Amino acid sequence: MSAWLIDSLATTDSLAEVFSDLSVLQAMLDFEVALARAEAQLKIIPQSAARAIARAARAEAYDCAALARETLRAGTPGIPLVKVLRKKVQQEDAFAANYVHWGATSQDVADTALILLLKKSSAILDADLARIEKALRALSVQHKSTLMLGRTLLQPAPPVTFGLKAAGWLAAVHRGRARLDRAVAEALVLQFGGASGTLGALERRGIQLSELMAAQLGLRVPDAPWHAHRDRLAEVICACAILTGSLGKMARDISLLMQHEVGEVAEPGGAGRGGSSTMPHKRNPIASILTLAAANRVPGLTAAFLSQMVQEHERAAGGWQAEWPTVASVIQSTGVGLASMAEVAEGLSVDPKRMRENIRSTHGTLLSEKIALLLAVHVGREKADDMLRSWSDPKRLKKRSLSQVLAKVPEVRGYKNEKLDKPDEYLGSAQEFIRRLSRHRPRRGK
């Protein structure tokens, strides 16, 4: 794993690798290579210079720790990068070294590198999104008729099915995936503007050069450089925040359903997963915990990014310089939530028997709404509610079911055929809602 130990609960192996020093450095070097090759193609610089720059652009050939120290002094990674790259090229071809970073500015390097890292990250995120969607769709179908308590304000409510709950998670994840897809597609654009965003050093060849560079890097060309306009990245960050919130909702539900007193589902276990340092019997909802931690982190990071959008004129002082760690943290937090909930969705244990037991433990009071509505026609809604409140009192029930108590109540004797003790018959449009929530399929190729 390429992450620092302190970040080990906030990322995954694959995303830690994307944002590792070598990966970040290589993304910046890739920008320089694309620039040199495009300029050579347009005969702005010699072909020999472009080849020398490309040969020198291997991240492993540089001291990342030294570059980090120099970045702190320079205020941008572009300046020390260009310095060491020029020096490396000079060792092979002193003449070619003159053409390193020709016509670009340091923010061009940093922003394009960040977009390249986003491109790599999005493929990782989408793979886990696909896993979650597939697994939740299967759960929603398998358990479409698995009866369980509805819970409002953490208290028993009329019945639902576990399939409906899973379908709700699925639909939220699907919407989040579509939202993130759109935002990432919009954000995958080259940054190349030169000193003031006009590409003045390249005279009238800047746009053509941008098109060649973007093609090499697999990016689109924006209408104009976007040095001080961060809305595209903001949309990605906000999409991640919404998606992570949806994952957090799923994690919260599962962690509550895993409580010993509830015991209706269980995360997949395994060696080193979900144990306790002091209590060997425990099976903790670790994946849900990691996801909830991410859902707690991301809103604050999102607010930080949005505050960084207010940038001065053509180039900002402090705005974009704050973004790298913020974007990296948001992407990795989203990723650890996705990977965790993909694991849960694929291996979740569901206990229909326990769900039935928890329904029975309410002694039929979960159907009080149905009974009150039947009575309201004859005695009025307020009186019906008062009557049900009294009949549902645990002291009055004394371990009897509500239907047993009601059997002796004159006002209810006429409703013997209304199945007042059959929660399976009080699911309304649940099956249609499951069908609607589960109907969306990933796009072809995803």
User: Active-site positions?
Assistant: 276, 315
Give CA–CA dist 425/431, Å, rounded: 12
CB 197 within 8 A of CB 278: no
For residue 148, the cross-strand partners are: 160
Tokens representing residue 21 in the block: 């020093």
Give CA–CA dist 211/234, Å, rounded: 24
Give CA–CA dist 251/290, Å, rounded: 9
Q: Directed axis angle between helix 21-41 and helix 64-74, to 10°?
A: 80
Tokens representing residue 198 in the block: 């006009």
Question: Using CA of residue 326, residue 327, residue 333, residue 336, what is the dihedral sign?
Answer: negative
Give, in degrees to the nearest 5, the angle at Cα 192 between 191 and 194: 135
Q: How far is CA 19 from CA 4, 22, 23, 265, in A?
A: 11, 8, 6, 35
Tokens representing residue 319 in the block: 């705005």
Give CA–CA dist 446/43, Å, rounded: 40
Give CA–CA dist 327/118, Å, rounded: 9
Residue 220 has what DSSP assignment?
Answer: B
